[in-house]
């Protein structure tokens, strides 16, 4: 059964807020203590195991009376789950050497999942009891991991569930294949001509962010006013992220509900960011984040996603005759083909090319005799092909 995580906003009372903040502190304390021991060990040519680090922490914590009142599982998970993963990533060269955790930066703690209960919009957490949630848990099944975290002023719980239920699988036979061109002007343009707007929240809040950041820089570092102002800035950034995520989720859900296969481009974000004029707008639209959400939602419904080769020029190729232009400047919003004299919206042209990649991908596999589906579904594939033909845009 697949593991799925649902992140839900919490509505804790004051006592619970204080408790959460304390546990974040305790998790950070345990993590940093063990990391410091680990570093000291390396200096003496000794690679300390996580259990050894935990043992040392258990001895050391006795010198700090306040640790007694905390949830011991929180410290335990911080060392055995979080630090252990950070060290493993460093050893396998997937990440840099772990850093010390700082207060106020990604505050979170993992609690004992065995004693957690979820009933409707309430969750029972160890030591603190029932906490209100803004949403009910989306999946049923065994709770495998429970992490509490803070973003700006809000508390969240991430519940990982070993799900028993499967999501409704898309009715692949009746939906067309869709190509998707993502960009700055429109978040996404589909091969059927649909466009989804880019909310560009950063652009909208740019002046406000700058103003509040300037105020922050004038406050004395660490003072009460400084802390308040810092929260204010964090809240604006949180708001920006919410607007962006909301638009991404809505567009992605809408798309996967009406398609049987998807063709997308391979984004070369690093190259794109080199264009300084575009860099800000690109970061604001967070296209890779959008494609990631799209892929996750498609995978849950069993919809195949084909990524065009990163060298495929989806914008420069004519979707009607296949002719490729040498140059195409960004300001040209309409694609005009010199070969076949077609004129078409630039983004729709790219999207149709990407859909053709997705269609071709499936067809070549079939032609080569590679079985992509069980025999019994061959009829379904034929039916889908017929639908594609009907869905071809009049160009
Ligand atoms: Zn053409």
Average pLDDT score over the chain: 86
Quote the pTM value. 0.74
If you measure from the C-alpha of residue 323 to the centroid of ligand 1, how many angstroms do you get, rounded to a whole number? 5
Whether pLDDT at 392 is above 80: no
pLDDT digits (tens, 9 = 90+) for 370-380: 333 333 334 44
Higher pLDDT, 329 or 58: 58
The Cα 259–Cα 297 span in angstroms is 12
If you measure from the C-alpha of residue 339 to the centroid of ligand 1, how many angstroms do you get, rounded to a whole number? 5
If you measure from the C-alpha of residue 265 to the centroid of ligand 1, how many angstroms do you get, rounded to a whole number? 20
Q: Report percent pLDDT > 90 for the chain.
A: 64
| Out of 25-29, 32-36, 137-141, least confident range | 137-141
If you measure from the C-alpha of residue 386 to the centroid of ligand 1, how many angstroms do you get, rounded to a whole number? 24
Q: Report percent pLDDT > 70 for the chain.
A: 89
Contact indicator for 335, 321 with CB cutoff of 8 Å: no
If you measure from the C-alpha of residue 230 to the centroid of ligand 1, how many angstroms do you get, rounded to a whole number? 55
If you measure from the C-alpha of residue 47 to the centroid of ligand 1, how many angstroms do you get, rounded to a whole number? 63
Confidence band (pLDDT; 50, 70, 90) for 185?
A: confident
Contact indicator for 107, 147 with CB cutoff of 8 Å: no
If you measure from the C-alpha of residue 325 to the centroid of ligand 1, how many angstroms do you get, rounded to a whole number? 10
If you measure from the C-alpha of residue 4 to the centroid of ligand 1, how many angstroms do you get, rounded to a whole number? 45
The dihedral built from the CA positions of residue 182, 187, 192 and 193, taken in this order, carries a sign that is: negative
Let me know if 21 is exposed, middle or buried by CB neighbors in 10 A (0-12, 13-18, 19+): middle
Confidence band (pLDDT; 50, 70, 90) for 13?
A: very high
Give, in order, the Cα–Cα distances in Å from 148 to each of 145, 227, 375, 393: 10, 22, 47, 48
pLDDT of residue 194: 94
Confidence band (pLDDT; 50, 70, 90) for 263?
A: very high
The Cα 388–Cα 262 span in angstroms is 12
pLDDT of residue 276: 76
Beta bridge partners of 7: 158
pLDDT of residue 368: 37
Confidence band (pLDDT; 50, 70, 90) for 385?
A: very low
Whether pLDDT at 282 is above 90: no
pLDDT of residue 362: 53
If you measure from the C-alpha of residue 340 to the centroid of ligand 1, how many angstroms do you get, rounded to a whole number? 4
If you measure from the C-alpha of residue 335 to the centroid of ligand 1, how many angstroms do you get, rounded to a whole number? 9
Confidence band (pLDDT; 50, 70, 90) for 268?
A: confident
Element housing 186 (H / E):
strand 186-190
- To the nearest 10°, report the CA torsion of 268, 274, 279, 283: 40
Whether pLDDT at 16 is above 90: yes
Contact indicator for 284, 203 with CB cutoff of 8 Å: yes
Contacts of 393 (CB under 8 A, 6+ apart): 191, 192, 193, 348, 352
Among the listed residues 173, 170, 177, the one whose alpha carbon sits nearest the alpha carbon of residue 351: 177
If you measure from the C-alpha of residue 314 to the centroid of ligand 1, how many angstroms do you get, rounded to a whole number? 13
- To the nearest 10°, report the CA torsion of 287, 288, 291, 292: -140
Whether pLDDT at 348 is above 90: yes
If you measure from the C-alpha of residue 382 to the centroid of ligand 1, how many angstroms do you get, rounded to a whole number? 28
If you measure from the C-alpha of residue 324 to the centroid of ligand 1, how many angstroms do you get, rounded to a whole number? 8
The Cα 113–Cα 77 span in angstroms is 11
Contact indicator for 186, 147 with CB cutoff of 8 Å: no
Whether pLDDT at 249 is above 60: yes
Confidence band (pLDDT; 50, 70, 90) for 166?
A: low
If you measure from the C-alpha of residue 327 to the centroid of ligand 1, how many angstroms do you get, rounded to a whole number? 14
| Out of 70-84, 325-339, 364-378, least confident range | 364-378
Higher pLDDT, 367 or 237: 237
If you measure from the C-alpha of residue 316 to the centroid of ligand 1, how many angstroms do you get, rounded to a whole number? 10
If you measure from the C-alpha of residue 342 to the centroid of ligand 1, how many angstroms do you get, rounded to a whole number? 6
If you measure from the C-alpha of residue 348 to the centroid of ligand 1, how many angstroms do you get, rounded to a whole number? 14
Let me know if 172 is exposed, middle or buried by CB neighbors in 10 A (0-12, 13-18, 19+): buried
If you measure from the C-alpha of residue 343 to the centroid of ligand 1, how many angstroms do you get, rounded to a whole number? 9
Confidence band (pLDDT; 50, 70, 90) for 169?
A: low
If you measure from the C-alpha of residue 20 to the centroid of ligand 1, how many angstroms do you get, rounded to a whole number? 61
Please compute Rg for the chain using Cα positions: 26
If you measure from the C-alpha of residue 394 to the centroid of ligand 1, how many angstroms do you get, rounded to a whole number? 14
If you measure from the C-alpha of residue 156 to the centroid of ligand 1, how many angstroms do you get, rounded to a whole number? 52
CB-based burial, 264-295: b 16+ in 10 Å, e otherwise? bbebeeeeeeeeeeeeebbebbbbeebbebbb
Beta bridge partners of 77: none
Q: What mean pLDDT is predicted for residues 137-157? A: 93
If you measure from the C-alpha of residue 336 to the centroid of ligand 1, how many angstroms do you get, rounded to a whole number? 8
pLDDT of residue 330: 79
If you measure from the C-alpha of residue 318 to the centroid of ligand 1, how many angstroms do you get, rounded to a whole number? 5
Confidence band (pLDDT; 50, 70, 90) for 279?
A: confident
The dihedral built from the CA positions of residue 292, 154, 17 and 24, taken in this order, carries a sign that is: positive
- In angstroms, how far is CA 104 from the centroid of its own chain? 21
If you measure from the C-alpha of residue 307 to the centroid of ligand 1, how many angstroms do you get, rounded to a whole number? 23
The β-bridge relationship of strands 261-264 and 177-182 is parallel
| Helices within the chain (DSSP H only) | 14-43, 50-60, 72-77, 84-91, 201-218, 224-256, 269-273, 276-285, 287-301, 346-367, 378-391
Contact indicator for 386, 175 with CB cutoff of 8 Å: no
If you measure from the C-alpha of residue 132 to the centroid of ligand 1, how many angstroms do you get, rounded to a whole number? 59
If you measure from the C-alpha of residue 192 to the centroid of ligand 1, how many angstroms do you get, rounded to a whole number? 18
């Amino acid at each position: 059964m697949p593991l799925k995580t649902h992140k839900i906003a919490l509505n804790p009372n004051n006592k619970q807020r204080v408790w959460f903040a304390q546990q974040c502190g305790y998790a950070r304390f345990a993590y940093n203590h063990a990391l410091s021991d680990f570093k000291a060990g390396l200096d003496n040519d000794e690679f300390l195991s996580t259990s050894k680090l935990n043992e040392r922490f258990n001895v050391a914590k006795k010198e700090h009376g306040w640790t007694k009142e905390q949830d011991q599982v929180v410290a335990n998970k911080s060392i055995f789950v979080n630090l252990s993963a950070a060290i493993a990533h460093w050893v396998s060269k997937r990440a840099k050497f772990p850093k010390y955790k700082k207060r106020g930066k990604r505050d979170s703690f993992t609690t004992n999942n065995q004693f957690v209960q979820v009933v409707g919009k309430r969750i029972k957490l160890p030591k603190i009891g029932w906490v209100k949630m803004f949403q009910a848990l989306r999946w049923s099944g065994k709770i495998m991991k429970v992490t509490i975290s803070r973003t700006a002023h809000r508390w969240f719980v991430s519940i990982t569930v070993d799900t028993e239920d499967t999501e409704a699988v898309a009715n692949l036979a009746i939906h067309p294949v869709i190509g998707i061109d993502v960009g700055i002007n429109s978040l996404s343009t589909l091969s059927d001509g649909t466009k989804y707007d880019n909310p560009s929240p950063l652009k909208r809040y740019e002046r406000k962010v700058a103003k509040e950041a300037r105020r922050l820089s004038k406050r004395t570092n660490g003072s009460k006013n400084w802390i308040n102002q810092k929260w204010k800035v964090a809240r604006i950034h949180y708001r920006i992220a919410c607007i962006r995520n909301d638009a991404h989720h809505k567009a992605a859900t809408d798309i996967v509900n009406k398609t049987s296969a998807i063709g997308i481009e391979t984004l070369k974000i690093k190259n794109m960011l080199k264009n300084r004029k575009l860099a800000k707008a690109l970061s604001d639209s967070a296209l890779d984040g959008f494609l990631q959400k799209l892929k996750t939602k498609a995978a849950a419904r069993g919809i195949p996603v084909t990524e065009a080769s990163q060298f495929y020029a989806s914008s420069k190729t004519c979707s009607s005759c296949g002719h490729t232009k040498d140059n195409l400047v960004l300001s040209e919003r309409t694609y005009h083909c010199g070969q076949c004299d077609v004129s078409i919206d630039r983004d729709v042209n790219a999207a149709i090319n990407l859909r053709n990649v997705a269609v071709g991908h499936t067809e070549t596999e079939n032609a080569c005799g590679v079985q992509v589906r069980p025999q019994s579904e061959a009829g379904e594939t034929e039916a889908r092909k017929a639908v594609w033909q009907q869905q071809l845009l009049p160009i």
